[in-house]
Structure 1
Amino acid sequence: MSLKRRMIAAGFSLFRAAGLHRLARGAFSGRGVILTFHRVRPAEDEAFAPNALLEITPEFFDAALARVRASGLQIVTLDEALRRLVSGEGAAFAVLTFDDGFRDVAEHALPVLQRHRAPFMTYIAPGLVSRAARLWWVELEEALRRLDRVELGGRVFSARDAREKAVAFDRIYWTLRAQGEQALRDGVAVLRDRAEIDSVALADQLCLDWDGLKRLAGCELASFGAHSMTHPRLRQIPEDLARAEMAESRRVLEAGLGRACPHFAYPVGDPTSAGPREFALAAELGFSSAVTTRPGMIFPEHAACLHALPRVSVNGLWQNLDFFDILLSGAPFALWNRGRRVNTA
C-alpha cells in the first residue's frame, strides 16, 4: 500500500473511531451530494490493477445506494437537484453520475439502479462511442501488463512482476499527466504500439456503442450529459479546441439519442484539467450545469456557480460502508478544502 493510501486509511480510521463525521454531519453535509462512478463489475483477482480505483462491485453499489437513502438523502435527477439548489426548497439530495459510458453500467449497474428505482446521469464522450477516441489510461495499464520492460522519455522501467508494473504505472502516469495533452497522448501511443494494443478493439470491449447507448436511453431512470468529444484535459488544450470539444459533444450526443443533453462533465475534472476558463465556456455554450471531480458537497453557495460543481468519487479502493458514511457526512472535504464551501480557482 502506498504512503498516500496509508494516510487516507488512517484518516478514515480516525474519523470512524472518534465518530467525528457523525458530530459534523449537519455542519458539512450541505444541500446534498453528487456522487461519481465509473465502472461497476464483479471483482477480479488481478494483482496488477492500477485503475481499480475506478471500479466497484455490484454488491457494494447496491449497499451504497441503500446507505444513501438510510442517511436521509433523496436520490433525484440532476435537474431536480439543481431546482432544489436554486430554489432553496426540498429535502437534501444525492445525484448518481457515471462517467465515460462503460458497458458494465448497462450490464451490472443498471439492474441495481432499477431495483432501487434510482435515477442516474451518464456523461458520454461520443468519440468513445464511435471508437474514434482512446481510453489512454486503460491503454497504459494494458501496455504495462504485456511488457516486462518499458523505455519512455529516456527512462527505463522494469515491469517484470505485479509490484514493478504498479510502480512503473504510477511513475509513468504522473510523468505524463504533468505534460501537455498531446505529449501525454503521444507517450501512451508509443507504449501502446510497442505492446501491440488494438485501441479500437479495447474501446469496443469496454465502452457502449450507439446501439447500446440507445438501449440504455430506453430506461426511464436514465439521463445523459456531454463529456467532450475525445476526453481531453480541456485546460491543457487551446481555447478554440476546448470550445469545439464541448459544443460538438453535446450536438453529436443529442443527435444520436434524439433527446436534450444540457449537462456537462469535464474530462478528468481536477484543477489541472478544468478551471475558470472551462467554467466560463460551459456557461457561454448554454449548458445548464457542469461537474468537476473536485471533491466536495453541494452547498447553497453553489447556486451561483452551476458550471463548477464538485462531486464525491466512490473509490474502488475504499469499498467500505463505514468509510462511505464518512464521505456522506462531508467532514473530510471540509478539511480537504480548508473550510471553503466553494472552490472555483
Structure 2
Amino acid sequence: MLSSRNRHRLFEAGFRAVSATGADRWLAPAARGLGVILTFHHVGPEAPAGYAPNRLLSITPDFLDATLRELHARGFEIVGLDAVPERLMAARDRPPFAVLTFDDGYRDNVVHAAPVLRRYSAPWTLFVTGDFADGHGRLWWIELERAIGRLDRVRVAIGDRSVDLPARSPQEKSLAFEAVYRDLRGGSEARLLDRIAALCAEAGFAAGAAATELCLSWDDLRALGTDPAVTFGAHTKSHPMLAKHDPALAAREIGAGRDRLAAELARPVRHLSYPVGDPTSAGAREFALARDFGFDTAVTTRPGHLFAGHAGHLHALPRVSVNGCHQSRAALAGLLSGVPFLAWNRGRRLNVA
C-alpha cells in the first residue's frame, strides 16, 4: 500500500502531466460540468512542519488568492450556494460557476481567508459544527496529530490487534499517524474517539480542548454574520461520521445542528455539509434525511463537478477539495478542468448512490 506522501507525489505528477499536455484545456469541454463546489478547511500563512499529517486541510492565503485568480482566468462566475439549484437547471450557454465552501468553522477563516475573499467580492459559505462553536467538540484528527507529535512511541489496541510503532522522527511520526488513522477510521467512531482520547492523556493534554483554540465561538459567528457575502450552513451538532450511527442519532445530529445554528444566528439555515462526507460517512440514508429536514442542498466530499443531472440530487452534491498538499497552478488547472474526475468517477457524471 502506498504511503500518503507517495500518493500525493503521484497526484502531483498527474497534475503536471495534465498541465504539460494541455489536457486541462482541450478536455475541459467534455470533463467540466456546469459548475464546481470547492472545499476548504484551514487558511493560514504558516509553512507546514516536517510532521504535518493534516497538511492537506490547510492552504495559505496566497494560494487562496491564486485559486480565485485562476477561477476568473478560466471564466468561472463565483456564486453563493443559494444559487446552485437554479444554476443546475439553467441553460448550458451560461458561464461555469464556482461555489466556495469552508468546513468546521475555523477562526483562521476570518483572520486569513475573509480578507482575500473580500478583495474579490466573493461570496462564501461557512459550515458550522455546533459543538465546535461551544468550544468542547472533538477535533479528533487534530488531537491525533498533536498526541503523536508529543509521543516517542505510539501504542494503540484496535480490536484483536495492536499498533506499536516508534515515533521519534518526523517520518516515524507520519507513518504512525497514518497507521493509527487508517485502522481507527475502519471501525466504530466510539472506539476511534476513545483510543484518541487515551493517546491525548498519555501525551499530557485533554481531548476536546482544541475547539476553543481553533474554532469560532457563537459571538464570533454573530459578528461574521454582518458580512453579506457569508452564508452559514449546518455541519451537524458534533461532527460524527453519520453513516456509522443508527438512524435516530443521525437525525438528531442533523436536526440539532441546524436548529442550534438558526437560533444562535437568528437566520434560516438552508444548507448542510456531511462531516467527513465520503461514502463511508454519508450515503443514501443521509441524503434522504437531509431532504426530509428541508435543506435546499447538502454537500459531500465525493469528488467531481456539477452537471445538470445533479438538479435531481441536490442532497448528494459533490465537491472538489483544494488540497494543501497540492498548492500549485498545475493542480488548480487540473481540478477546475474536471479532467481528473473522468478517471476517478470511471466516466460517471453522477455518484449519488
User: Does the CA-based 8 Å contact 1:88-1:300 persist in structure 2?
Assistant: no
Query: What does residue range 174-185 of structure 1 map to in structure 2 within 5 Å?
Result: 174-185=182-193
Q: Which residue of 1 aligns with 2:286?
A: 278
1:307 aligns with 2:308: no
Matches of 2:235 and 2:284, distance apart in 1: 17
Which of 165, 168, 182 pairs up with 1:160? 168
Which of 134, 137, 141 pairs up with 1:133? 137
- Superposition CA RMSD, Å: 1.2
Q: Which residue of 2 aligns with 1:39?
A: 42
User: Does the CA-based 8 Å contact 1:36-1:314 persist in structure 2?
Assistant: yes
Matches of 1:6 and 1:107, distance apart in 2: 30
1:332 aligns with 2:340: yes
What SS is found at the alignment partner of 1:318? coil
Q: Deviations over 1:310-343 (max 9, x none)?
A: 0000000000012201110001011100110000
User: Does the CA-based 8 Å contact 2:48-2:55 persist in structure 1?
Assistant: no
Matches of 1:193 and 1:160, distance apart in 2: 18
Q: Deviations over 1:81-133 (max 9, x none)?
A: 22111344743210000000000000000000111100000101111100232
What SS is found at the alignment partner of 1:218? coil
Q: CA deviation at 1:17?
A: 1.9
1:209 aligns with 2:217: yes
User: Sequence identity of aligned pairs in percent?
Assistant: 48
Q: CA deviation at 1:63?
A: 1.3
Q: Which residue of 1 aligns with 2:59?
A: 56
Letter matched to residue 34 of structure 2 = R
Q: CA deviation at 1:199?
A: 3.5
Q: Which residue of 1 aligns with 2:87?
A: 84
Matches of 1:340 and 1:197, distance apart in 2: 46
- Any stretches of 5+ residues in structure 1 without a counterpart? none
Letter matched to residue 28 of structure 1 = A
How many residue pairs match? The answer is 345
User: Does the CA-based 8 Å contact 1:152-1:187 persist in structure 2?
Assistant: yes
Query: What does residue range 105-254 of structure 1 map to in structure 2 within 5 Å?
Result: 105-153=109-157, 154-254=162-262
Q: Deviations over 1:213-248 (max 9, x none)?
A: 111111110000000100010000111100100011
Q: CA deviation at 1:201?
A: 3.4
User: Does the CA-based 8 Å contact 2:136-2:212 persist in structure 1?
Assistant: no
User: Does the CA-based 8 Å contact 1:24-1:329 persist in structure 2?
Assistant: yes
Matches of 1:73 and 1:45, distance apart in 2: 30
User: Does the CA-based 8 Å contact 2:12-2:331 persist in structure 1?
Assistant: no
What SS is found at the alignment partner of 2:168? coil
Letter matched to residue 183 of structure 2 = T
Q: Deviations over 1:129-148 (max 9, x none)?
A: 00232100000000001111
What SS is found at the alignment partner of 1:44? coil
Q: Deviations over 1:250-301 (max 9, x none)?
A: 0000000011111000000001110111111111111111000000000000
Matches of 1:134 and 1:112, distance apart in 2: 29
User: Does the CA-based 8 Å contact 1:131-1:203 persist in structure 2?
Assistant: yes
Matches of 1:86 and 1:198, distance apart in 2: 49
What SS is found at the alignment partner of 1:2? helix
Which of 328, 332, 337 pairs up with 1:320? 328
Letter matched to residue 69 of structure 2 = A
Letter matched to residue 51 of structure 1 = N
What SS is found at the alignment partner of 1:139? helix
Matches of 2:281 and 2:115, distance apart in 1: 33
User: Does the CA-based 8 Å contact 1:132-1:230 persist in structure 2?
Assistant: no
Which of 261, 269, 273 pairs up with 1:265? 273
Matches of 2:340 and 2:68, distance apart in 1: 20
Matches of 2:265 and 2:91, distance apart in 1: 32
What SS is found at the alignment partner of 1:316? coil
User: What stretches of structure 1 move > 6 A for 4+ residues in a row?
Assistant: none
What SS is found at the alignment partner of 2:302? strand
Matches of 1:199 and 1:221, distance apart in 2: 34
Letter matched to residue 252 of structure 2 = A
Matches of 1:133 and 1:308, distance apart in 2: 25
Q: Which residue of 2 aligns with 1:16?
A: 19
